Amino acid sequence: MPETPTIQAAAMLYSAETSNEGALPAFVAKLGQDGHTIGGILQETAFDESGAKIGIDAVALDNDERFPIVRPTKEDREAGACGLDRSVLTESSIALRRAVKKPVDLLVVEKFGEREQTGEGLADDLLAAMAEGIPVLVAVPADAEEIWADFTGGLSTLLAPDIAELTRWWETVQT
């Protein structure tokens, strides 16, 4: 009977006061420079030709493919809606499936958003990676900590958006 993989998941908790800006991309870059294979997606602000912010792209870590997941319309902005394109979010899951198939040393997802919190979006792909024993690091809003705990069955480490703390967690995963 095959051995059940160990779940190695971590949530990098962030809030408006402890923004995740910078920590996750810097950590991913450091691991890549150290020769680790990283898969998944990070988010980047998207700008138009004049430099005006137009939304958010999910960027695949294996090939830099960009998925325009947020492009709010004027109506979205007036209504206070974010403009998330669910079909493009679903399309971005291909980056996670490639990472599981490879497999990679670490799967990173920025972020555990509203869709994932309700079991949609990238939720199934995150669970598939965990089931394969691939270490998973996900940016999780602090107000979704309990939902994340339920999602992972409590089998997750909680981390601050701090490169030193992320590195300490990674070192425990490597042993």
Q: What is the pLDDT, as a whole number, of residue 52?
A: 87
Confidence class for position 85, pLDDT limits 50, 70, 90:
confident
CB 131 within 8 A of CB 118: no
Angle at 78 (CA atoms; ends 72, 79), nearest 5 degrees: 85
Q: What is the pLDDT, as a whole number, of residue 77?
A: 62
- Percent of residues, the chain, with pLDDT higher than 70: 90
Answer yes or no: is pLDDT of 20 > 60.
Answer: no
- What value does the mean pLDDT take over residues 140-151? 96
Long-range contacts at 35-39 (CB < 8 A, ≥ 24 apart): 36/105, 36/106, 37/102, 37/104, 37/105, 37/106, 38/62, 38/104, 38/105, 38/106, 38/107, 38/108, 39/95, 39/96, 39/98, 39/99, 39/100, 39/102, 39/103, 39/104, 39/106, 39/107, 39/108
* CATH domain 9-41+93-174 topology: Rossmann fold (3.40.50)
Q: What is the pLDDT, as a whole number, of residue 86?
A: 87
Q: What is the pLDDT, as a whole number, of residue 16?
A: 78
- What value does the mean pLDDT take over residues 52-56? 89
Q: What is the pLDDT, as a whole number, of residue 19?
A: 63
Q: How far apart are CA 118 and CA 110, in angstroms?
A: 16
Q: What is the pLDDT, as a whole number, of residue 4?
A: 67
Q: What is the pLDDT, as a whole number, of residue 59?
A: 97
pLDDT tens digit sequence for 94-139: 999 999 999 999 999 999 999 999 999 999 999 999 999 999 999 9
Which token pair is 2?
A: 């095959």
- Mean of pLDDT over the chain: 90
- Identify which has the larger pLDDT, 82 or 114: 114
Ordered by start, the domain boundaries in the chain are 9-41+93-174
Answer yes or no: is pLDDT of 78 > 70.
Answer: no
